[in-house]
């Protein structure tokens, strides 16, 4: 449960009233339960909004200038260290201790040690492994089938990220490890876990603790195996085992566990959702779909793209960029202030929790006219401020794996689209929901066709029509 103490300074900011009896905690519960509705509700009050009127401990920011103030100053606005009130010596704590949650000098050192694994040239060296994983997935598809594209994208991204991060080449072992860590994220992202964070029998938190122990054991076993083999592989974990800081220090096994897990979770979950939403948006926009297939066929002639060819696919780049603008996988992220600060002409206290939102930022009409429309061509002229387009966050803590994710997305789309046309069955209900990332509730069924170029827009139902202009 969150604290209900009002801010020490009376700051007159418009915002929603508190829930009877539960106060600001009631608002927090409602935000966690339906994040998209509450982001829209909060942003209607303006660019700087408290979670509850009269309480400035929880502050939402909806403007690129405020994003810049928060994201460019990691000393004043620290990553929110979740589970700091949870078990000190627990698998859950260790699994969460990665780049997204550590701060200060430790974050700087670890990021510097990890950067060589995500340098552009190093990421490009993973191209062949990615192409092989994507090819195996596509070879199992048959025209006429209806497949859950969300699950298909999850499986292939699991294979890719597990091979790239861990160097596992056996698909069965890869998927076992991948599904275990995916289960960890599912349980971690459950609203019930955050609202009832007690390690008691029968509670979701206890189940999260149990899967955390299994996840840590699996990663530690892999670390031990890598070390015994000399850690001479080309994967990220092998490189981290050899990484040293300026004084010659290396990561402890506990630190390796956390960094590996967070890289894995971030590396597959966000990409899964971005690919799923991109395929949905293409199906709903036949003209863009047709133009992209034409670009891919003209450049690639049926072969997987080389790194050089990806640079010659401008529409593909715009489609990916626009999809991640309209349906960013991460809708909200968090920081907490270490000292008093001023923002928007108001003064706030230390320990203020700030929530910035790629989802709302990307839909500001002053930055993106017709913000609910999927318009890849907008990127021919659009030049939003640096902190006005933040699918990978920005500043010193920008997602370290962004280059890897973009390469993965572009390779998959460029191999899939010339070979198959995917279409939603008419009348499909599409319900976006947020559980750590924004995904389609219940998956996304799509029928597989050979690429026959019969591009049509099937009618869809559900909440997606409130998020995306489809007519």
Binding-site positions read: 399
Q: What is the distance between the alpha carbons of residues 11 and 38, in angstroms, rounded to a whole number? A: 21
Classify strands 437-440 and 333-337 as parallel, antiparallel or unpaired: unpaired
Q: What is the distance between the alpha carbons of residues 460 and 253, in angstroms, rounded to a whole number? A: 48
| Residue corresponding to tokens 């390796």 | 256
Q: What is the distance between the alpha carbons of residues 166 and 236, in angstroms, rounded to a whole number? A: 7
Positions at the binding site for heme: 399
Q: What is the distance between the alpha carbons of residues 352 and 335, in angstroms, rounded to a whole number? A: 8
Q: Is 124 left (phi over 0), alpha (psi -120 to 50) or beta?
A: alpha
Q: Is 440 helix (H, G, I), strand (E, B) or coil?
A: strand
Q: Are 296 and 414 in contact (CB under 8 A)?
A: yes
Q: Are 95 and 258 in contact (CB under 8 A)?
A: yes
**Who's near 223: CB < 8 A, 6+ residues apart?**
237, 241, 253, 256, 257, 260
Task: Tokens for 215, please give them.
Answer: 């996840």
Query: Counting every residue, how long is the chain?
Result: 471
Q: What is the distance between the alpha carbons of residues 110 and 122, in angstroms, rounded to a whole number? A: 18
Angle 253-284/104-114 helices, nearest 10 degrees?
70
**Who's near 262: CB < 8 A, 6+ residues apart?**
95, 96, 97, 98, 99, 100, 101
Classify strands 460-461 and 55-61 as parallel, antiparallel or unpaired: unpaired
Task: Tokens for 141, please give them.
Answer: 């598809």
| Residue corresponding to tokens 């696919």 | 313
Q: What is the distance between the alpha carbons of residues 62 and 51, in angstroms, rounded to a whole number? A: 13
Neighbours of 121 (CB within 10 A): 9
Task: Tokens for 24, please give them.
Answer: 């600001």
Q: Give the phi and the psi of residue 19 in degrees, each rounded to 5.
A: -75, 135
Neighbours of 432 (CB within 10 A): 21
Q: What is the distance between the alpha carbons of residues 224 and 14, in angstroms, rounded to a whole number? A: 54
């Amino acid at each position: 449960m969150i604290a209900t103490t009002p801010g020490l300074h009376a700051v007159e900011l418009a915002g929603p009233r508190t829930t009877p009896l539960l106060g600001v905690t009631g608002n927090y519960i409602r935000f966690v339960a339906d994040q998209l509705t509450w982001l829209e509700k909060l942003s209607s009050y303006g660019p700087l909004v408290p979670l509850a009127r009269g309480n400035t401990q929880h502050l939402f920011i909806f403007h690129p200038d405020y994003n810049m103030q928060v994201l460019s100053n990691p000393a004043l606005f620290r990553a929110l260290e979740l589970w700091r009130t949870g078990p000190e010596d627990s698998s859950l704590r260790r699994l969460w201790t990665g780049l997204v949650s550590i701060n200060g000098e430790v974050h700087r050192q670890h990021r510097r040690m990890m950067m060589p694994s995500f340098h552009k040239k190093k990421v490009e060296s993973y191209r062949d492994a990615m192409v092989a994983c994507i090819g195996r997935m596509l070879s199992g598809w048959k025209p006429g089938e209806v497949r859950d594209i969300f699950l298909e994208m999850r499986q292939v991204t699991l294979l890719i990220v597990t091979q790239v991060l861990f160097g596992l080449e056996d698909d069965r072992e890869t998927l076992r490890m991948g599904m275990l860590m995916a289960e960890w994220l599912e349980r971690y992202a459950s609203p019930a876990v955050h609202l009832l964070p007690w390690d008691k029998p029968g509670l979701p938190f206890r189940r999260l603790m149990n899967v955390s122990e299994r996840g840590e054991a699996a990663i530690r076993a892999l670390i031990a195996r890598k070390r015994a083999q000399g850690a001479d592989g080309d994967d990220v974990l092998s490189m981290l085992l050899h990484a040293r800081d300026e004084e010659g220090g290396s990561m402890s096994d506990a630190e390796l566990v956390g960094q590996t897990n967070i890289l894995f979770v971030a590396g597959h979950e966000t990409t899964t959702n971005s690919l799923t939403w991109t395929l949905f948006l293409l199906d709903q926009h036949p003209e863009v779909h047709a133009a992209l297939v034409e670009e891919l066929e003209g450049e690639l002639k049926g072969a997987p793209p080389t790194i050089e060819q990806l640079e010659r696919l401008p529409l593909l780049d715009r489609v990916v960029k626009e999809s991640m603008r309209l349906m960013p996988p991460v809708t909200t992220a968090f920081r907490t202030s270490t000292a008093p600060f001023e923002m928007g002409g108001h003064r706030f206290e230390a320990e203020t929790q700030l929530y910035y939102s790629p989802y709302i930022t990307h839909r500001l009409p002053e930055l993106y006219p017709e913000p609910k429309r999927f318009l890849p061509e907008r990127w021919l002229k659009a030049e939003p401020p640096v902190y006005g387009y933040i699918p990978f966050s920005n500043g010193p803590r920008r997602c370290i794996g962004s280059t890897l994710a973009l390469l993965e997305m572009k390779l998959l789309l460029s191999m899939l689209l010339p070979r198959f046309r995917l279409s939603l069955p008419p009348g499909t209900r599409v319900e976006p929901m947020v559980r750590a990332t924004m995904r389609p509730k219940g998956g996304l069924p799509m029928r597989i066709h050979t690429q026959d170029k019969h591009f049509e827009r099937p009618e869809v139902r559900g909440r997606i029509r409130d998020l995306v202009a489809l007519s």
